[in-house]
Structures are given as C-alpha cells and as structure tokens.
Structure 1
Amino acid sequence: MSLFRDFFYFERLLPSKYQKKWCLISVKLHKKLPKTIPLYLYINHRDNPTFEPLTYLVSGRFLPNFWRVSLVYLPEKTNCLRIYPIAKIFNSALQSVSSVKIRALSRLTTALILIIINPFTFIKIFCYPFIHLNKRIRMGLLQNQQIFFPNLSYKYWYNLYENWNGNEIKKLYESNYIHLWPVFSLFTYYGKTMEIDWNNFYQHPNTRGRTTPQAFQAHYIILKNSNEILEEHSLAVFADQAARQHYPAALYADSDEINNLNEHSNPVFKQNFNLSILLTGFLTQDIWIIRKDIFDDFIKEFDSPIRSIHAIRMALALYLWKKNHFIYHVPLILSHRTAKISLHDKNETIEIIKIFKTELNWQFNVNTHIFPFDINYINYQDPVSLIIPTTLGSETIHQCITKLIKKTSYPRLEIILVISQNKPLTKQQEKFLSSFQYHKHLKVLFVETDQFNFSKSCNVAIRHSKYPFIALINDDIEPLDQNWLSLMMGHMQNEKVGAVGAKLFYPDKNIQHAGVIMGAANLCEHAGRFHKSDNFYLTHDHEVSAVTGACMVIRRLAFNEVNGFDETFEIAYNDIDFCLRLREKKYHIIQCQNAQLIHYESLSLGNHYKGERAGKERQEILSLKKKHLKIINHDPFYNPNYSLQRGRDYQLAFPPRISIPFGLTENNV
C-alpha cells in the first residue's frame, strides 16, 4: 500500500456474512466533494497480507454530492475494506466520513439493478444459463462501467498528478545519485536542418539550466524536434534515471500534446522497449536521449542520408536493438508535442523500416495510411501442427471445428484432434469424427483421463505432433479471416519469439482477449475484455507478458526448454504460467491483433471448480502469485499510469501507480 503513503483512509472490518455475495456499498461524507471525484475501495483477504484494489465508489446520477456508492462482489475470505481518496488533496473528505453501509444482495436483485440502470443489460445477463449468473452480472457491470466508474479527463489527471510541489522538486535535486548525473548536449531538428554544438553546450541538470565545465560521468545527446518541449525538470529526471540504471544506451519517456489553448491532451503512455511496437513508430514519436559514444559509433556505420529526426530516432533504436543494447523507459510525462508528425517525417521513417526489413529478410507489410503504422507480419513457410483439444460433445462444437478447419488457409499443416475422457466414444462422437475423414492431414489422439486437465492434454498432444511450430486452439473458436495463422506465424520469423496470441472476440464483436495484463484485477486479466475500442494497444501487434491458451502459436524449441505446461495447473492459469516461464528463458511473447477470431466462450463454459476440486481455484491463484509475484506486481508491457482495475485497462489510473519524482521513493513500482 506504499502507493497511498500519506493518504488518509477509512477502514472497516467485514463480517463473514458478506463473503461470496454481491453487495451495495454506500459512503456518506460530511464534507461535499464534486460529483466527478470518486473514492477508491480496497479489500483484504485473510490469506493475503496486502490490500487489493477492487473498484471506485462514485456519485450516482441522482445522488447528492455527499454520497458515493458501488456494486461489488466480495470474494471468500474478505475480512476488511479500506476507502482512499484518489489524491492527497482530498484527504479531508475521508476524515469526514459519516457512515459506511453495506447491503448484501441476491444475484437476481443485483441483475435487476443493472437492468434498471441500462435495459440493454438484460440480453447480456439472461441469455445464458442461470447457473452462470455471477459471470453474466460481471459482464453486464463491466459493459456499463461508464455508469459506475468516473470518466475523469486527462486534463484533470495531469493537473492532479503531474504538477510537482516543492517537496518533490527538493527530493529530486537531493538525490543520492546526483554526483553521478551525466551532462547533455542538444540535437534539435528544424524543418529540414539540424543544429548541434558539441563544444559549447554541456548542460548539467544539477545547475538547474546553467552550463557547467565540471567533470561528468557520462555524456548524453537529446534528440529533439523543434516542436517538442521538455518539462522543467525533465533533464534532472533523465539524469537521475541514467545514473540509477548504470548509464543505459538510451532513455525515452511518456509524452502528451499541448493545443492552441495551452491544454494538455492525447497522452502517449509507452511500454518498455520491444521491437514489435518500435516498428510502428509509437516509441520514437518524441524525445529520445542517447549516450554520445554510442551515437558516434552509429554515425560511423550509418551512411544513409536522413533529413528527419523521427527517422533518425527510428534508425538509432533499430541499431541499438541489433547491438542488444539496454534501452530504458521512464514512465513519466517528460515532454510535450505541439504538432503532429509530418508526411515527410513519415516517409523518411518508412524508408528506415524498409532497410531494416531487407537486412533481416523478414516478410511484413506496413500500413502507411495510419500513424502509428500498422505492421502485418506474414509467414507461410514454416510447417505447423494445429492441435484442437475437444470433447466433440455437441453439434455446435462439431460445426465450430468444421469451420475452423475450412477457414484456415495454411499450406503446410497437420491437424490433431485431442479427445480426453476415460470412456469409449459415444455414437454421436463417432459420427462427428467420421465427417473429418476427408482431411488427409488430420489425425485423432485419445488421452485417457479421469478428470479434465488442460495442461496434460496439451503436453501429450504436442509430444505426438511433428512440426517445429504448434498452434493450440479451443474447439469453440471460428476464424474471421483465413490468414489468421500466417499472421501469427509471421512473428515467428524472429527466433527470439516463443509464443504468439490472437485477438479473440465474443459473438457480439466485443473483445474477449487482446493480450493479458499482469496485475490487473488483482492477478491478471484479458486486455480489452467487453470493449469495442480503437486504443493503440488493442489494434497494433506488440509484446506482452502473456497470452491466452485459447489460441496460441508456440515454438517447439521454447516449449521443450521450459518442459511444456505445468500440469499442477490443471484448469486455469496454465497458459499464463507457461508464458511467464518462457519469458524467464528470455523468449518474447507477442499479441497479434491482426489475427482475429470469434470465441464462443459460452459453448465450453462450465465450472470445473466443484466437488473434489472446490478449493482448487484459490490454490492455483496462490500458486501463480508465489511463482510470479514480481511480474504480477509490475508488468513491463503495461504502463503504470494505466489502471489495473477490472474493466479499466488502458484507462487512466487515479492515482497513478508510480511516484513523483519517479524512482526516488518506495512508491516506485
């Protein structure tokens, strides 16, 4: 809870009667707050020493400013809740809490409340079996999040969290690393000319803007466009981070735009450095800082004429990638753009990408009509084993598999149907299997098992397959495009990639999976779930920490290196654990947003956590946390200025999960 250090909070113990229940929580304040200002609700489990974020308490449409409410589900073993303000300036509001009321609701009552608020929720909640009502309520709640969650603007977020106070500035310039801070030279691009003065411009942040002849530990160059503005204390932050990170080859940070009214808008919150997102131009659209000795080496090797700072930054970043240099991302808004990238800059950057493509002999297409660019990687060359675990339990599943086979256009493919059960095939299953006999590259594998174990079924099937790449796919998935597999395989041209995931949709075309965000919803969550969003991260291929096993392409060499799926994760989180173990072996995990399929999740929806397995879900959650706590606490591919709250992925975090100044307090992630 160091994120809320110096924040006042209200705490209340919870009786066991509220556990595993939907509850309406209402808070009354003595002091009036603006209706747009929410409160943050955290909960504690008996088997977890830390408090976990749950949701916001917001002002309802017809409630007075004194009240904040929320509909929440309180899990088993929840024994305490805490309420925080979203910023320290609102501490006084929590000091004046008049009352906190908790009312347990039945599932049906909760569903009816959602339907009253939004009648369209009725279809989402009641068009599926009643036994899955809890899941449908969550779906309805997330899809109507604009009613329950605050729609706070970036302008308001910036004013709350990016205006440094005196103590924060003092702390920055009293850093323990100040004697190791580097100096900077400025490289500025004006239209079609560049200006640089190596001898006369040595700026040390310790002097607060004055030049200094004193000795220094390292020398960095600021690669800056004339329409880019550095924040007042940006050089000090960059210098401190460079010293703390032992002088990386380059550093970059987040940015935003300043419009004609001098208002901040369109923030660009970036990931840690990775090639997939680099080639889109997303990471190099604003200021980069590079070590001078490395820049000098680059100039000696690179002989192509460039008249664009955007192209120079792209060429430099690709040079650093090929040399395997360390590039560091500072997750703070440290610069501002006053103009968008020009057509000339785009064209020059595209030329750099084409040179890189030729050097590596990779196949991909660049969509230049949008910026950041959309990159389609393509590979038809390498043979693939397509593995479909299935029960063949219904005509609908049979139709899904039939469509999957017909809508997969890939020249070198073997298909393996994996049937896991401990009894002979039924007549219906035999009938379904006979319909696939026309496919000469299809075979059936039987795995005898008393209980469903996804990991075991996959391991057995993969070891019976023959090709160097494996595509795992659920039996209730239908491709939207015949080229889905070639798009995913395109990323396997990079031998450092261990697994690739696809973008999955629900039948209503809302997103079901666009990557996995570690730490979201207190553990991990599918990015974009229930959204129809054009957010950059949901539309462009990029690196992630994990992807779902519902549709995943795997490099066999990587699979063998980590000994396959961990069979102690019998039901859930086996795909997450598998991806994280691949990352520990230095393999990359890619989310391919251009490979798109429909996942009829409800067809195979069932509760495997019952009977003898009643406590298995919590056991698997705790096991995942024990093995991978570090990355659960800090996903390197999800910016800490974004929220981890369920349903708010790639939306602003109130408050951010980092401190100002970054890296100088225990708040640092």
Structure 2
Amino acid sequence: MTFFSEAQGWLSPKIQFRLLPKKELQTGQSLDWASTGYDPTFHLKHRGAAPKGWYMVSLRITASVPRVTAKLYADYGEGIDEKQALQFSVKSGTLFKRVCLFQDRPVRLRLDPCQQPCEFTVEHLAFTKLTERRARALMQKKLQGRRNLGALSSLDSSPLLEQYNQCFDHNLSAITYAQWMSQVEAPTLDSSSLEAIYRKLANKPLISVLLTTYNTEPELLRQCIESVQGQRYPHWQLCIADDASSHEPVRELLREFAETDKRIRLVLREKNGHISQASNSALELVNGEFVALLDHDDLLAPHALLMMVKAINDAPEAQFFYSDEDKIDEHNQRSEPHFKSSWNRDLFYSHNYITHLAVIQTELVRRIGGFRAGVEGSQDYDLFLRAIGHLGNRQIVHVPHVLYHWRAINGSTALSASQKGYTSKAGLKALRDYFNSTNLEIEVTPHRLNNCYQVRWPLAEPSPLVSLIIPTRDGYELLKQCISSIRNKTRYSAFEILVINNQSQCPKTLAYFRELEQTGQARVVDFDDEFNFSAINNLGVAHARGQIVGLINNDIEVINPDWLDEMVRHASRPDVGCVGAKLFYPDGRIQHAGVVLGIGGVAGHAHKYFAGHHNGYHSRLSLVQNYSAVTAAALLVRKSVYLEVGGLEPLLKVAFNDVDFCLKVREAGYRNVWTPFAELYHHESVSRGFEDTPEKQARFSNEIRWMEKRWGEVLKSDPCYNPNLSLTHEDFSYNTEPALTPSP
C-alpha cells in the first residue's frame, strides 16, 4: 500500500513511501491486513531520509476491534528505542493526530499498527511539517485545562513536548485484549474461587455437550475434546455424532476417546446427513438436564460449564443460557472477544449475536423438535429462534464471561462471515420461517453485512398520524432547515409539525412562525417560561393530535427519506416503547447510536465520534437493537405510552430527561429500540451552547444527583451493554478494572 506525505520541505515536495510488512502480518479476509500476533511490524519505505524537525502525524486505522494501540518508531542509526515510541490509541475508523519531533534525520521509520491479533486497514498515514511556533501552539492547546496556561507559555519546547507526550502515554484508555486477559480476567479465575463456587452449588445437573464431527483436522479435534475433559465442573457427558467422516484417523481418534472415557458417548453415522441430522443423532445420546453446543474445532474455557451451572442455580426459572466468547487461532492465541448484551430481542432478530456458548434445557430442545433440516449453516440460529418462542424474557440469561473460544482458521466463519456464504441464506430462511409462524405480515430482507438481516415491521392502514414536536427559541436558520428537510425529504406523509415557541424574539423567527401557520406547514404553540426541555415537550404532547409523538430537536436535518417510516413501524409495535435514530454530526461522524447507562456516571452515547461508515462493535452500529435509552433529539413513542409513564420529568430541565423517560418506559414493560435505518444530522450544541457557566454547571450537577437518587443501581448495570466494557469511554473498549469477580 502506498501513501504520500503531506510534508513540505522534505527532499521532494511529496515523498512517496510504502508499508512493507516485516513481521506477524498477512493478507486479511475482510480488511487489508491480518495481524497474526502481538507485535506486527511495518517498515515505512521512502526515498531519502525525512528531515529533522516538528511534524503532525495523522493516522486512521479501521480494524475488526473497536480500538488499536499503534506505535511509531524513528531509527536514527542506532536501532529502535522502545522508550522513544510514539503511541496512538486509535479508535477504529477515526483520524488520530499527534505532534512529534524528529531530533535528527531518521534513517528508518517503523509502524506497529496494533498489539493484538485482528484484521485492519491503514486508511491514512501522513506527516505534515510544522514550524516550531505552530507545534508549540498545538501542544499548548492540547494541554489547556490540564495545566496552567501561563506556566505552559514559559516552558521551553523540550519540557513542553514532555508534558504533551504524557497526555497520550498516561491517558491511553485502551488496553489490548492480551492485557485484559492477564490484568482483568486471570485474577478472577484462581482455583480457590472456582472451588468455592462449585461447593456452593445446590443443584448440580448433568450437562450434555453436543458435538458433531466430519473430517475434522485430528489435532484440533483432540484439543476440542480435551477442553471438555478439562472442565472444572465434573458432571458432564460428551455426546458425539460423526457424520460419516471419510478420513479414517478422525474415527480412530473418536473411538480412542470413547473407549477410555465413559463420559463420552459416540455414534458413528453410516451415511452423511449434514449437520442438522448429525446434531439430532448426538441429541439422541443425551441424558443430561441441559445441552451445551460445541463445534468440532472450538474450545471450551476450563470454567465454562461451572459458570453456566452457577447461572442455572442463580436463575432456576431460566431455560436458555449464553456466554461471551472470543476467537482462537491455530496457535491457540486468543483475540477479538465478543462481550455481549443481555437478552436483546431486536439485536437477535438482526443477527445471531448469541452464537457460543449456548446451554439450553434438554426438554425444551426435544419439545421443539431438535435441529431442523433445510437450514444447515444456521441450524443453531434456527434452533434458538424456535426456542425463544416458548420462553419469557427472564428465562433467557446472559453469562458475562468468556467461556468459549471460536476457532478462526481458513474456511471458518470465525475468521470471516464471507467464508461460508450459504450461512446467510440459511439464516434468512430461519428468520422468515420464524416470523411466518407468528401470522404477522413481517418482511425480512438480507442486510449488506453477511449473516445479518433487516426486519420490516407492518404498518397499520391508514398510516398512523405522527405529531413531530420541535421546541425552539429563535434559531431561525436551524429551525427552517429542520422543517424544510422534514417536509421535503420525508417519504412518510401522515405527520403534523408542532413548533413550541419558547420566548422567541428574533423578528425573522416570529415572521417564520406566521408563515408556518398561514401555509399550514406547522402549528405554533407558545411556552412563555424559562427553558425547560421536559415541560416544553409535555406541552407539545398535550397539543398533539397524533397516535405517535416525535420529539425532534430544532437542529435536526433529515438524511434518508425513509427515516420516519422506519421509526413509525417500530413505534407501532405493541411491545416497543421509545424508538431512536442514528444521528450524525455535520462532518459525518456518529453523534448518537443508542445510550449506554453508567458511562461517565449516568449515561453516554454508544459509538460517539465513530466514522459514519463504520459498522461498530460487532456490527452494532449497523443493526436494529434494543438499548436502555435513546436521545430525545429524535425520539418516537406512542402518545399513550408517553402519557402512561407521566411524560418527561420537569425537574430535569435540560440533561438526562430523555434517559429518565426511557427508563420509565422500560420499567413499564416496553422495550426501547434503536434503528440505524433512520438517519439524521444533529447540529448538536448549536442551539443551546455548552455547559460553560457556573449556573449551568450547578444545574447539571443537580441533575446528575437527581438521576443517581432516582435510578441508583440501575445506572451501574446496563443490560444492553456488558460489564467487561468501559464505563469511561463510549467506544466499547475494555473495562480496565475487574467488573465481575466470580463469587459463590
């Protein structure tokens, strides 16, 4: 891959250089490169040597993980000095910039793009020459608020650079997965803790592990079976069905295990029937109260069944359990963990996020007919879909521990979903069959991402009226842009617009109000009091004629014409409460894609600042799903639900009123939904500004305390998130503190 430097004053106006892979790098499946270890290395080849001096280094990497830590080294002829490395904590898809100083002419530049196995593309790498004066100004700007500005201006460039570098080296929020495993996971899994868990189990059911094989690579199969034998929970049986393997060493290995371990039951099928029939053959061998599903080259973590049985004891009414997972290569190096949401119905309709490890009550599996032929490749998804139709939400339990290692090798869907294209078609059939059984007119279409789907919910006839409520105080340009984009770009036609006028004084705005009413484009309702977002919207809802109300900020601008149709379809579902949209900053970055409780103390926006084209953490930026809350900058809800929970809380005048409202809606028994198929621009902070006065900051602090008092522990555990993910950053990076210590 070739890049051009943006530096001026180099040996030529634009110096061409190339990324030369040197270590632990190979061609990727879904992105340009695949890191095969923990120290991948590029050399940057270019003509001549870069002049010494100040530079702005900018780097953008899109990766299969939410964040990578890249390092840039300059070799001045004496080799690489680790202490001189420049670190870049790069959020996937986001441009990262950092001032640097080349003390001399580097003879070689080296880039380590990440520190973990993953796939990635280096989309941008540039060196822009700076004057020392410009470099000092940029560093001082970065340090503003962290240091005394007067003291900074008196520093020489060297100590200023030292303090500037500390911003990056000390405040790197991300840790690699290898660091997470050693610093966070490992300390929670000591033998004494696991033994204590086992001793406290009141119910110790037999767990039957289902395993089907077909010409599996013998060494990987051996490791798979040994991972079951190495379980810290002893009450298991392994039920193996070989689907007529033609490779005799596979059958010999299976016979060897079955003959030496009575807990292993084996059936050697004489005719190949594919995975569903083979799975049913394994199911016939089951004696256990629960079945666990294991693929033939994957591994169970040693504590997998123990933690599942602990969950069974903790939730005796539940019948379906699933865990977090990661990937493992042929060298048994772990990578790409999937820290999952608790039961997330709409995310599950978008794709099979459950996958591994799944443990289901045997009686339920048999009652629904076991594994179904005709959906091979997505037979587990099909089984899960049919199972959830018999279960309440509380009977499906997420176990937030990495209990399963999915083998990522050539030909495996763990490496890339495109490896097995037939799985997407099988999953589509499974989902369509599931919805056909509900007798609802629901359309399911393929998503642009493999093994993902878009569910289009039915719309009542005639289409329900939507009342779009837009509060404003002056802001003529923003308001006109908002209303014009709604009226000119929205395909859904059954809507009315209510503008809530909060003491506007601008003559242009007042004239625009008259125009709106005279032309029938909108109704204008006056709110003659100090700004109170909750009270303003409550007034708007009281005047709304629609069955559905939409809370819309005056700085919203429509992007795609089907945004309202999409949101109305979800808001019309009887079990759904609030519906949120995908909001972009004007520069195309993500502003809102769902709200996560606990981030920053109360709540934060998921995937904030991600590149607009990014698919997000395990594709969550591109899939319909449930979130605990969504922003009221663009929120739809049935008017009856709004009134049922008492509307927005007037004591929360500015902040968190939408989070509080969504939590009340969830508490009333509804699910809140976020959809990426409703896209809008949000020109945030243009209309109200920042929290930059003592009065505003005091009000904000009071609203935080109100939320903490009202919701308490609810804010500390978001079921749509994961305790292993950060509560200080909005990028799905790993939690640097042990969030879950297994306890008896």
Q: TM-score, normalised by structure 1?
A: 0.71
Cα distance between partner residues in 2 of 1:463 and 1:111:
52
> What's the counterpart of residue 233 of structure 2?
205
Matching residue of 1:92? none
Worse-superposed segment, 636-645 or 154-163: 154-163
Distance 1:592 1:207, change over 3 A: closer
Pairing 1:333–2:402 present: yes
Q: Could you tell me which residue of structure 2 aligns to residue 138 of structure 1?
A: none
The verdict on how the C-alpha distance between 1:157 and 1:473 changes in structure 2, with shifts beyond 3 A counting, is same
The percentage of counterpart residues that share the same residue type is: 24
Q: Is the 8 A contact 1:277 1:541 kept in 2?
A: yes
- CA distance change for structure 1 residues 414 and 521 in 2, over 3 Å: closer, same or farther? same
Is 1:447 the counterpart of 2:527 in the alignment? yes
In the superposition, relative to structure 1, how do residues 324 and 116 fare at CA in structure 2: closer, same or farther (>3 Å)? Answer: closer
Q: CA deviation at 1:244?
A: 1.6
- Tell me if the contact between 2:623 and 2:675 (Cα under 8 Å) persists in the aligned partners: yes
**Contact persistence 2:326–2:334 (CA under 8 A):** yes
Deviation at 1:222, TM superposition (A): 1.2
Q: Matched residues in 1 for 2:673 and 2:642: separation?
A: 15
Change (3 A) 1:313 1:289: farther
Match of 2:656 in 1: 573
Q: Which residue number in structure 1 is paired with residue 298 of structure 2?
A: 228
Give the Cα–Cα distance (whole angstroms) in 1 for the partners of residues 722 and 180 of structure 2. 15
Deviation (angstroms), 1:554:
0.9
Quick check: 470-479 or 256-265, which moved more?
256-265
1:397–1:269 CA distance, 2 compared to 1 (3 A): same
* Paired position in structure 2 for 1:174: 196
Count of residue pairs brought into register by the alignment: 531
Whichever residue aligns with residue 287 of structure 1, its letter is L
Query: Is contact 1:392-1:398 (8 Å) kept?
Result: no
1:618 & 1:294 partners in 2: Cα distance? Answer: 50
Structure 1 counterpart SS, 2:664: helix
CA radius of gyration, larger in:
2
Question: Do the aligned residues in 2 keep the contact of 1:609 with 1:615 (CA within 8 Å)?
Answer: no
Correspondence for 2:316 among 237, 243, 246: 246
Please say which of residues 620-629 and 394-403 is displaced more in the overlay.
394-403
Structure 1 residue 280: Cα displacement: 2.5
Deviation sequence 1:376-413 (CA, Å, 0-9, x none): 53555332111111224333432332223222221211
Q: Contact 2:596 / 2:629 at 8 angstroms: preserved in 1? A: yes
**1:377–1:319 Cα change, 3 Å:** same
CA contact (8 A) 1:408 1:483 kept: yes
Per the TM alignment, residue 186 of structure 1 is displaced from its structure 2 partner at its CA by 2.4
Per-residue CA deviations over 1:560-594 (Å, capped at 9, x if unaligned) read 21111111111111101101111111111111122
Q: Distance in 2 between matches of 1:522 and 1:645?
A: 8
Q: Write out aligned runs for 1:88-237 (5 A).
A: 112-113=138-139, 148-149=171-172, 151-163=174-186, 168-175=190-197, 176-190=199-213, 205-206=233-234, 219-237=289-307
**Mapped partners of 2:452, 2:299: distance in 1:** 24
Equivalent in the alignment of 1:324:
392
**Do the aligned residues in 2 keep the contact of 1:275 with 1:321 (CA within 8 Å)?**
no
Q: Distance in 1 between matches of 2:720 and 2:136?
A: 35
Amino acid in the other structure paired with 2:489: K
> 1:261-298 deviations in whole A, cap 9, x for unaligned?
32212222110112111123332322311011222222
1:370 to 449, 457, 477: 449
How far 1:314 moved relative to its partner? 3.5
Kindly provide the amino acid, as one letter, of the partner of residue 264 in structure 1: R
Q: CA deviation at 1:115?
A: 5.1
Note the C-alpha offset of 1:208. 8.1
634-643 or 485-494, which deviates more: 485-494
Give the equivalent residue in structure 2 for 1:349: 427
Judged with a 3 Å threshold, the aligned counterparts in structure 2 of structure 1 residues 191 and 438 are, in CA distance, closer, same or farther, namely farther
Which letter does structure 2 place at the counterpart of 1:113?
M
TM-score by length of 2: 0.64
- In structure 2, give the amino acid aligned to 1:484: W
Match of 1:494 in 2: 573
Q: How does 1:393-472 map to 2 (within 5 A)?
A: 393-421=475-503, 426-437=506-517, 440=520, 442-449=522-529, 451-472=530-551
Amino acid corresponding to residue 475 of structure 1 in structure 2: N
Q: CA deviation at 1:322?
A: 5.1
Match of 1:383 in 2: 465
Q: Name 1:268's counterpart in structure 2.
A: 338
The DSSP-based 3-state class of the residue aligned with 1:398 is helix
- The DSSP-based 3-state class of the residue aligned with 2:686 is helix
Q: Separation in 2 of the partners of 1:355 and 1:314?
A: 9
Equivalent in 487, 492, 509 of residue 588 of structure 2: 509
Decide whether aligned partners of structure 1 residues 634 and 436 sit closer, same or farther in structure 2, where only a CA change above 3 A counts. Answer: same
Counterpart CA distance in 2 for 1:539 and 1:306 is 28
Q: How far apart are the structure 2 equivalents of 1:543 and 1:434?
A: 40
Residue 419 of structure 1: CA displacement?
Answer: 0.9
Note if contact 2:471-2:553 (Cα within 8 Å) is conserved in structure 1: yes
Match of 1:643 among 694, 713, 726: 726
CA contact (8 A) 2:347 2:625 kept: yes
The equivalent of 1:654 in structure 2 is 736
Paired with 1:658 and 1:411, the residues of 2 have a C-alpha distance of 49
Alpha-carbon distance in structure 2 between the residues aligned to 1:67 and 1:370: 37
Contact 2:236–2:263, Cα closer than 8 Å, also in 1: no
| Gap runs ≥5 in structure 1 | 1-33, 36-57, 71-108, 119-140, 194-200, 665-669
Q: Provide, for residues 523-548 of structure 1, a one-character-per-residue CA deviation record: whole Å limited to 9, x for no partner.
A: 21111222214222222121111111
Residue in 1 that maps onto 2:637 = 554
Deviation at 1:612, TM superposition (A): 6.2
User: For the residues of structure 2 that align with 1:567 and 1:322, how far apart are their CA atoms?
Assistant: 41
Distance in 1 between residues matched to 2:140 and 2:364, nearest whole Å: 58
Gaps of 5+ in 2: 1-37, 40-69, 75-80, 89-134, 145-163, 217-228, 238-260, 265-286
Shift of 1:609: 7.8
Residue identity matched to 2:576: V
Aligned to 1:180, the other structure's residue is in SS state coil
Q: Which amino acid counterpart does residue 728 of structure 2 have in structure 1?
A: Q
* Matches of 1:409 and 1:318, distance apart in 2: 35
519 and 187 in structure 1: CA distance in 2 versus 1, 3 angstrom threshold: same
**How far apart, in 2, do the equivalents of 1:158 and 1:433 lie?**
59
The CA distance in 2 between the partners of 1:349 and 1:69, in whole Å, is 42
The whole-number CA distance in structure 2 between the counterparts of 1:348 and 1:378 is 21
In structure 2, give the amino acid aligned to 1:238.
Answer: M
Q: Distance in 2 between matches of 1:218 and 1:204?
A: 17
Distance 1:59 1:355, change over 3 A: closer
Q: How far off is 1:303 after superposition?
A: 9.5
Amino acid at match of 1:294: L
What is the distance in 1 between the residues matched to 2:83 and 2:213?
51
**Conserved 8 A contact 2:591-2:609:** yes
Give secondary structure in 1 for the equivalent of 2:331: coil
Greater CA drift, 377-386 or 465-474: 377-386
From the superposition, tell whether residues 184 and 208 of structure 1 become closer, same or farther in structure 2 (CA, over 3 Å). closer
Shift of 1:351: 0.9
> 8 Å contact 1:177–1:243 — kept in the other structure?
no
CA distance in 2, matches of 1:410, 1:467: 14
Once structures 1 and 2 are overlaid, which stretch shifts more, 60-69 or 622-631? Answer: 60-69
Q: Deviations 1:336-366 (Å, cap 9, x if unpaired)?
A: 1122163333322211100123225254443
Report if the CA contact (8 A) 1:288-1:313 is conserved. Answer: no
Distance 1:504 1:603 in 2: 15
- Paired residues of 2:204 and 2:235 also in contact (CA < 8 A): no
